[in-house]
């Protein structure tokens, strides 16, 4: 099994560990003697409840989520949280601060404006989102109901290397593309959310970690399904949760634990990214526009400066078994997404391919 697999550098949905796919495959028609697939089970059954509880407990253990935080397994993607965050949190003062460092934080910022007075606390648009603003550059309002940022900018290839210090204002973070790649001090946050399809599980699951004391003060017209209180009270089972994705998440968390957890993963992913950046920086043809100190360990963007040569690179790479290296349509160039499941070997081989292309063109 798995011999024809490519090195898939997709930004998301993206690679899952081979062990996880094989395990899911072996259990697909009969989950542990239940006589049925996880896809066919009632979410209220004992068998599924155990899958759910185990996944939640493993997540709590791996990311060291304190007991006063609820881990929710929801649907709607990270994008639904762009609305859920202001609806649930802005009621306290009617104001919120946003740091816009890329595409998704910009969408979140625009969406939040429907619900209150939203300030731009920082922006990296002046230099095409090639850097992360420093702490001193954050323009903070102590009256804000929360401060919002996106820890890893999937399209622009930048990543916050520090946790913003915002006083008593609750921190809200979109960690869709770097969650579980490094330790996080969850106690510094009010809400953390992430779509699963980058670093955790198949598309269809959104993990939301909420400090429980912040829930229950949603705007009166908040849709029932977007209220954190609704989902906290029912432990994510107000309606049918994304059962299959939660099961796969559990398998991914077992795999992560075998790799040394998020602490182990931090060293591995940093080594992979460093190897790729070194290869790009020392090449003749390729360059990475992202400033050192702001570069993402998850999404590595690079280009040659010639659209023609970029296209040639992408097509030759695809033929050689390195797929989905084309950059996002809004920025062009190339992007190698090297999430947790990308083996070190995949990055080593890609570096070899880049070096050969650099020599031959």
Ligand X SMILES: *Cc1c(COP(=O)(O)O)cnc(C)c1O
The stretches of 5-113 forming alpha helices (DSSP H) are: 18-26, 46-62, 77-89, 103-112
Residue nearer to ligand X on the CB measure, 144 or 150: 150
Q: How many residues bind ligand X (CB under 6 A)?
A: 12
CA pair distance 244, 35, nearest whole angstrom: 16
In the chain, count H helices and then E strands.
Answer: 9, 13
Name residues contacting ligand X, limited to 185-204 (CB under 6 A).
195, 198
- Closer residue to ligand X in complex, CB, 150/209: 150
Span 158-177, contacts to ligand X by CB under 6 A? 174, 176-177
Answer for the pair 178, 58: CB distance below 8 angstroms, yes or no: no
- Using the minimum distance from each CB to ligand X, give the nearer residue, 118 or 351: 118
Report the nearest approach of ligand X to the CB of residue 187 (Å). Answer: 22
Q: Give the DSSP letter of residue 8.
A: E
- CB of 228 or CB of 286, closer to ligand X: 228
- Taking the complex as a whole, the smallest distance from the CB of residue 88 to ligand X amounts, in Å, to 17
Q: What is the DSSP string of 123-168?
A: E-GGGTT-S---GGG----TT-S-EEEESEETTTTEE-SS----TT
Q: How far is the CB of 40 from ligand X (least distance, A)?
A: 25
Residue among 174 and 218 whose Cβ is closer to ligand X: 174
Which residue number, 88 or 177, has a Cβ lying nearer to ligand X? 177
Q: Indicate whether 211 belongs to the interface with ligand X (CB under 6 A).
A: no
Cβ at position 177, least distance to ligand X in Å: 4
Which residue's CB is nearer to ligand X, number 79 or number 93? Answer: 79
The minimum distance between CB 110 and ligand X, in angstroms, equals 13
82/228 with CB nearer ligand X: 82
Structural contact between residues 11 and 337, judged by C-beta atoms closer than 8 angstroms: yes
d(CA 51, CA 58) in angstroms, rounded, equals 11
Q: How far apart, in Å, are the Cα atoms of 357 and each of 60, 141, 313, 352?
A: 44, 49, 7, 9
Binders of ligand X among residues 4 to 23 (CB under 6 A) are 12
Q: Applying CB under 6 A, does 157 fall inside the site for ligand X?
A: no
**Contact string 52-81 vs ligand X (x = CB under 6 A):** -------------------------xxx--
**Alpha-carbon gap, residue 245 to 197, rounded angstroms:** 9
Please, which residues have CB within 8 angstroms of residue 19's CB and are 6 or more apart in sequence?
255
CB of 102 to ligand X, least distance (A): 8
Site for ligand X in 279-338 (CB under 6 A): none
Among 150, 179, 205, 325, binds ligand X (CB under 6 A): 150
Beta strands in the chain (DSSP E): 7-8, 69-74, 95-100, 117-123, 147-150, 152-153, 158-159, 171-174, 191-195, 206-211, 299-302, 322-323, 334-337
- Answer yes or no whether residue 154 interacts with ligand X by CB under 6 A: yes
State the nearest-atom distance from the C-beta of 203 to ligand X, in Å: 7
Q: From CA 130, how far away is CA 276, in angstroms rounded?
A: 18
Where on the chain is the footprint of ligand X (CB under 6 A)?
12, 77-79, 104, 150, 154, 174, 176-177, 195, 198
């Amino acid at each position: 099994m798995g011999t024809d697999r490519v090195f898939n550098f997709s930004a998301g949905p993206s690679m899952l560990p081979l062990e996880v796919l094989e395990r899911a495959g072996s259990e697909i028609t009969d989950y542990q003697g239940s006589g049925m697939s996880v896809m066919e089970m009632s979410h209220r059954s004992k068998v599924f409840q155990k899958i759910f509880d185990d996944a939640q407990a493993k997540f709590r253990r791996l990311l060291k989520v304190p007991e006063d935080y609820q881990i929710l397994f929801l649907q709607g993607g990270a994008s639904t949280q762009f609305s859920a965050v202001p609806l649930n949190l802005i009621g306290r003062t009617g104001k919120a601060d946003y740091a816009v460092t890329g595409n998704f934080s910009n969408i979140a910022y625009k969406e939040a404006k429907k619900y209150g007075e939203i300030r731009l606390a920082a922006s990296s648009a002046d230099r095409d989102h090639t850097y992360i603003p420093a702490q001193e550059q954050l323009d903070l309002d102590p009256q804000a109901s929360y401060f919002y940022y996106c820890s890893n900018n999937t399209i622009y290839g930048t990543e916050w290397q520090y946790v913003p210090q915002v006083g008593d204002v609750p921190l809200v973070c979109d960690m869709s593309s770097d969650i579980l790649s490094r330790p996080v001090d969850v106690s510094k946050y009010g809400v953390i959310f992430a779509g699963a399809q980058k670093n955790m599980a198949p598309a269809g699951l959104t993990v939301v970690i909420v400090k429980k004391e912040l829930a229950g003060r949603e705007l009166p017209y908040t849709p029932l399904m977007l209220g954190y209180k609704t989902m906290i009270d029912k432990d994510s089972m107000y309606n049918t949760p994304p059962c299959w994705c939660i099961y796969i998440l559990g398998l991914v968390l077992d795999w992560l634990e075998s790799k040394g957890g998020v602490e182990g993963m931090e060293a591995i992913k940093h080594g992979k990214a460093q190897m790729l950046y070194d290869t790009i920086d020392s090449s003749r043809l390729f360059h990475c526009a992202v400033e050192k100190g702001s570069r993402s360990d998850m999404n590595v963007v690079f280009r040659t400066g010639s659209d023609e040569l970029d296209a040639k690179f992408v097509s030759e790479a695809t033929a050689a078994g390195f797929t989905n290296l084309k950059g996002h349509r809004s920025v062009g160039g190339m992007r190698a997404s090297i999430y947790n499941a990308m083996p070190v070997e995949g990055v080593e081989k890609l570096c070899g391919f880049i070096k050969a292309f650099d020599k031959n063109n």
